[in-house]
């Protein structure tokens, strides 16, 4: 992956951390649950098509932003936190080349093939 994309994802990761600091929640929640979105990989137990769908659901930044904004609108810190957690985790993953998945293979992502 190009260096510029990694820098952009790192900036988004930092944005998620900054926005998290603006909601009233203990820091340890972010640290403990940071890898929780990877539960989406469980779909790969069934097959690669289901796995790609469940993984992408938990790593889609649009869904993350929507959850965060709805949380702000409803003044629900847990919903805002969920959106920030998903957003920050997705950005973190993409720094290392883990993009949204295609249904043919776990290593085939919207960023290209992992490991190449």
Q: What is the pLDDT of residues 22-80, one digit of tens each?
A: 999 999 999 999 999 999 999 999 999 999 999 999 999 999 999 999 999 999 999 99
Q: Measured between alpha carbons, how far is 92 from 33 in angstroms, rounded to an integer?
A: 14
Q: What is the pLDDT of residues 72-103, one digit of tens each?
A: 999 999 999 999 999 999 999 999 989 999 99
Which of these, 73, 84, 74, 91, lies nearest to 25 by C-alpha position? 84
Which of these, 72, 55, 96, lies nearest to 20 by C-alpha position? 72
Kindly indicate the confidence band of residue 1, based on its pLDDT and cuts at 50, 70 and 90: low
- The whole-model pTM stands at 0.93
Yes or no: say if 104 and 48 are a contact pair by the CB < 8 Å rule.
yes
For residue 110 the two structure tokens come to: 């919207």
């Amino acid at each position: 992956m190009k260096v510029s994309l990694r820098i952009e994802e790192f900036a988004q990761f930092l944005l998620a951390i900054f926005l998290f600091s603006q909601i009233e929640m203990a820091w340890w929640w972010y640290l403990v649950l940071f890898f929780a979105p990877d539960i989406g990989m469980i779909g790969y137990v069934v097959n690669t098509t289901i796995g790609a769908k469940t993984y992408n659901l938990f790593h889609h930044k649009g869904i993350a932003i929507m959850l965060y904004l709805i949380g702000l609108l409803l003044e629900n810190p847990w919903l805002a936190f969920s959106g920030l957690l998903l957003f920050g985790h997705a950005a973190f993953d993409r720094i290392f080349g883990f993009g949204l998945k295609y249904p043919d293979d776990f290593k085939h992502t919207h960023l290209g093939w992992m490991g190449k």
